[in-house]
Amino acid sequence: MADIRIQDGAPKLERIWDPIVRLTHWVMVVSVLAGYFIGENMSFSTISWHFYLGYTTGGVIVVRLLWGLFGPKPARIASLFSSPKTLTAYAATVPQRKPSYWPGHNPLGALSALALWLVLLGMVVTGLMSESDDFFTAAPFAGYLDDATRIEMTGWHHRLSALVLPLIGLHLAAILFYFVWKRENLVRPMITGWKQVKR
């Protein structure tokens, strides 16, 4: 559990995000956005790409989950969970016009990341069991399901996809808020790996 106290000391430049975290993040950005766009504008010539991008997203999730179990501390899944006390204390600092210097995902950002990852995981799982009557195509595991279950999985795939853009929008809005209001660049560390933090 990420129970890091908010400190008042001088910030230090630290290597927070390792190459695997950064690579999976940016591959996920491309695969999810491209997969969503193709899914919303499906045709006979593009449906295969929608599947391939879904497989890519699923593969990235598996890699990230494994790295979340065995990788360095900032990459660990456990670092995304904060106690209510830490979460409340951090939330009280959000209106302050100064960087948070949080070593990794801050407690609120971690909740947003968890929500997005869970939705994407749900989309991959249901996508693997879906079918498209319009394009006479079924996902790899759809044939193992009865008609009612297959229809249900397809429905859930579409319902979950409706949550993706709002969650991405929330993510981008938070990045913009931190950049403009709190004068903290959250994009650069996800490119370079280095971040100003306080311990």
138 touches 130 (CB < 8 A): yes
> Residue 67 is encoded by which pair of tokens?
């790295």
Distance of alpha carbon 190 from alpha carbon 178, whole angstroms: 14
User: Per-residue pLDDT for the chain (199 aa), expressed as one digit of tens each?
Assistant: 445 455 557 889 999 999 999 999 999 999 999 999 998 888 888 888 999 999 999 999 999 999 999 999 999 999 999 999 999 999 999 999 999 999 999 999 999 999 999 999 999 999 999 887 665 577 788 788 888 998 899 999 999 999 999 999 999 999 999 999 999 999 999 999 999 998 7
* 12-197 is a CATH 3.40.50.2300 domain: no
Distance of alpha carbon 136 from alpha carbon 142, whole angstroms: 12
Which residues 6+ apart lie within 8 Å of 73 measured at CB? 79
